[in-house]
Structure 1
Amino acid sequence: MTQSSDVILARMMALHPKVIDLTLDRVWRLLAALGNPQNDLPPVIHLAGTNGKGSTQAMIRAGLEAAGKTVHAYTSPHLARFHERIRLAGDLISEDHLTAVLDECYAANDGGNITYFEITTAAALLAFARTPANYTLLEVGLGGRLDATNVIETPALTVITPIDLDHQQFLGDTLQEIAGEKAGIIKRGVPCVVGPQHDEVLDVIEARAARLGAPLLAFGQQWHVTQERGRLIYQDETGLLDLPLPALPGPHQIANAGAAIAALRRLGCDEVACEAAMTDVFWPARMQHLTTGRIVDRFRPADLWLDGGHNPAAGVMLARTLADLPDRPTHLVCGMLNTKDIRGYLLPLAKVAQSLTAISIPGEANTLPASVTATAARDVGMVAAVADSLDAALEDISAKEPYARILICGSLYLAGHVLRENS
């Protein structure tokens, strides 16, 4: 009997004692055993960055598809189902196809030491190589230089979205060190689109690009983007575009949109495709307005939102987004992983939220205990409470303030739980 993808994925979790162990040696070994599928992909757009790479990739995909192109896309982590990570020529990979490539990779690995992300990335590359498409969008999992996706010798384009502090235990303690890891996706002679960056980050990117002769298309230099009178204004050396604002809410999405448009223009797309990148994009758990579903129906008339951001820069962006929404009391339900800078994340949110109710992330071994989250919230000046579950948190808030805006936030793993429960 054919095993389900869930069973195979569970087996793959046991192939390495660590969840994260950055090196490319194991990936190269497995890819060689599979016949090096990474060399047979449709033209690759490779994206790295601390924040915004998923949203930017989603906009690029919307634009390319509007231009009549078929697009593979690889993202991580998934929210509700693993299949979300692998999109083949526009559609999520089927269960049968996923099971087949996972089985093939498991057999080719032959019991070798390899992380879950490495072997599942190899499975995605195998599926991409065997399915015709015009483009392949690859999102880095962690860092860039030693990430399992960094096996494409000559991509068509690389994109680096804003870089900030996150995953310091793996990437380094300074912005320059982290930038060095993420700039590792830049390849010799391959154009690189660069979103807004700290000066010290841009210095690192420019130095690597210069060494490799990689043309840079950088925000504030080769392209500019602003929001004016409810429109997105983009300009580069080929002219000006006056476009709708991106369908993804938040002022930070303006810069992400600019990077997506710069990429699309470099790939030869016209204004129609760029407009579709703004209007047709959908990317769940990025300030997602929940308007239907079990949870929404149960807690009406509360206004429910969901966001998976989890680092200090994401906290700043989220606070700006909330400040731009119509005036309404805002309460947070927050669960985070124990590897995150919780104080840095919550500090900007303290200015825009009336309260925070802390929960532990259901089913997640590395969740921060709710009591620790609540203590951190109080430390930054927030009114904080603890609830035993998501439903209990929503009940507590909606009982006191039925028409409140409630933002569930702090982790993509919590966001995935919410989407599954709300379906």
Structure 2
Amino acid sequence: MTSQTIFANAKIVLPDEVVHGAVTIEDTLITAIDPGATVPAGAIDCEGDFLSPGLIELHTDNLERHLMPRPKVDWPHDAAIVAHDTELAGVGITTVFDALRVGSILSKSPSRYPRYARKLADEIENMRVRGALRISHHLHLRAEVCSETLPDELSEFGPDDRVGIVSLMDHTPGQRQFRDMEKFEAYIRGKRGMSADDFQTHVAHLTDLRARLGTLHEEATVSATARLGATLASHDDTTAAQVTTSAGFGVSVAEFPTTLEAAQACRDRHIQIIMGAPNLVRGGSHSGNIAARSLAEESLLDVLSSDYVPAALLKGAVKLGAIWGDMARGLATVTCNPAAGIHLEDRGRIAPGLRADLTRFCVIGDAPIVRGVWSNGRRVS
């Protein structure tokens, strides 16, 4: 039997406007949008709350926090994956691209990064097919150019692995996100407990890897992205020249450009611009790079990512709605824009025939309050 649910008396967030009305879903799909404040018998009265498409998260490191809640504490992975999934559902996210690093450093050095992506991807997929997860999970492979194993690790993934995004990550010291070496040293030594000598060894090792393997790893990443049918993204572009290089690789999405120059170059080349919602909410970058608000005010911001704070995604979108004086435009940065950027044609908008991914929320003061979340027609929060 078909299961029908009607969400009535809602402010429905469409791509270009907010309208008062009702949304009907049947089983897993949206079937109708009707204007007006009428609440039919048996309908859910949204009491004037916003009803938006479920939020789409393209780049999150949140799973890492659940896997290692304290330094050197390896939490059981099935429990960590479920906790991550539950947290995202609770803040309105119905589609996530879990970011996994590919490209490891296995030699003995302060730069050591263990290999983990293939095993963790299998664990996420196992939980998904067993019905343990509330929302739609896909993969975002973060391809580390400064590594020893990148081509080999990329070869472990195939077209059936739900890889939607591959991003080129170049963490050569002294450029991109950490051009300021003092800030880079403070960040790395604080995070990893390195001595001053170990930090210098770390810098030398990464610089050497980039010099010897960087071009090979970039070529392997571009080739793997095409083989996987994924979207290629750049990361932390800083100069117009870097954007030109990214465009030459076929990049169509730019994650976190660090300067106005780079963001403008992305716009000139029709590359979608992603900025961090925590940057917007906090009022600036924790690394000293350009503020997301500055790009928003120049209309150089297309998509928000929660990055390391899942709740920042909806809060950031609402904040953009206030900055632009247009709630629909603000919410588009976490719904229809990311869907379009990575070619997810079945979600990201409230429209008949699309997935019934919905987030109901109100705003109290400056804080969005999630009142209910539905993923593929099923209430998950």
TM-score, normalised via structure 2 length: 0.31
Higher share in helix: 1
Higher share in strand: 2
Report 1 or 2 for greater relative contact order, CA contacts < 8 Å, sequence distance ≥ 6: 2
TM-score, normalised via structure 1 length: 0.29
